[in-house]
Structure 1
């Protein structure tokens, strides 16, 4: 198959596993109307079901578009609170929510410094972009106390979660 991009092996990641408590953080959480600083612990405590934390490439990159189209089409928001995390700004997140037609169903954390990915052990530097890092693709399903019920972290770029396996966790 002739790809327009190179597949890159990412190596090991030191990320939270099932049974661990996910690191807490507070960042701007963007929805279709506004954004405000919200901690992950507050979001998990207020959720009626599991929280699906989706780390993704910067908005506009094809992996982010593909992941959010798939999540939208599968309707994960019906069984869980689905939130994304990327290095994109709140303004870029609002555009992604509109373009992917996921307004009202999903929210996105803005983490331009990539500190959240660092705390989760999944930060990766971008080839050819000095000083720019973003999270490697990852999905964590969390309960109300931030206990990790399921963890998937990409071993190569690009890579995508097994959506059926995530759905089985929900």
Structure 2
């Protein structure tokens, strides 16, 4: 039995395939430290899979990162996450789950707003988080694949995402 309601999300005017992904600089957290890094610095080294997810500790975050880990797509290109969680929360999540990906901290949810995927939290004035989304971005920051949740909770179509990643890097 499901313990939560599935909620339809309003339409999102998000960054689409063929458009340039907005650049940003935020703290990028790994298992050892964090530092301010730009998306363009990451794409300069090759394609990036940018994954937006709700805050650390939420069940969607756990499901998303477990599935991506099990598919080993991080061996094919850089995979990074973005959420409203702080660098401290990211560091804990990375350590606890033994994650091999880095996570951008965006507590003000500005990056999600720039990507058109900010979701206002019901009953919490002024608070928002990113809706789950995945953007496959090439070296020129052109979006090659975009998926954005249409309901909560919703999860990326992992087979489609993996197929698009393999097509881009091969």
After TM superposition, the score normalised by the length of structure 2 is 0.94
Which residue pairs with 1:87 in the alignment?
Answer: 84
Among 127, 141, 145, the residue aligned to 1:146: 141
Please give the alpha-carbon distance, in whole angstroms, between the structure 2 residues aligned to 1:10 and 1:59.
21
What are the ranges of 5 or more consecutive residues in structure 1 without an aligned counterpart? none
Please give the alpha-carbon distance, in whole angstroms, between the structure 2 residues aligned to 1:41 and 1:114.
19
Q: CA deviation at 1:21?
A: 0.3
Please give the alpha-carbon distance, in whole angstroms, between the structure 1 residues aligned to 2:132 and 2:143.
16
- 1:103-130: CA deviation from partner (whole Å, max 9, x where unpaired): xx21000000000000000000112333
Please give the alpha-carbon distance, in whole angstroms, between the structure 1 residues aligned to 2:141 and 2:30.
21
The 3-state SS of whatever aligns with 2:44 is: helix
Instruction: Confirm or deny that 1:110 pairs with 2:109.
Output: no
Which residue pairs with 2:28 in the alignment?
Answer: 29
What are the ranges of 5 or more consecutive residues in structure 2 without an aligned counterpart? 166-170
The 3-state SS of whatever aligns with 1:19 is: coil
After TM superposition, the score normalised by the length of structure 1 is 0.94
Please give the alpha-carbon distance, in whole angstroms, between the structure 1 residues aligned to 2:122 and 2:4.
12
Q: CA deviation at 1:147?
A: 0.5
Instruction: Confirm or deny that 1:71 pairs with 2:72.
Output: no
RMSD of Structure 2 on Structure 1 (CA)? 0.9
Runs of 4 or more, structure 1, over 3 Å off, are none
Which residue pairs with 2:19 in the alignment?
Answer: 20
Instruction: Confirm or deny that 1:124 pairs with 2:134.
Output: no
- 1:114-170: CA deviation from partner (whole Å, max 9, x where unpaired): 000000000001123332100000000000111000000000000001101000011
Please give the alpha-carbon distance, in whole angstroms, between the structure 1 residues aligned to 2:70 and 2:96.
14
Please give the alpha-carbon distance, in whole angstroms, between the structure 1 residues aligned to 2:42 and 2:78.
9
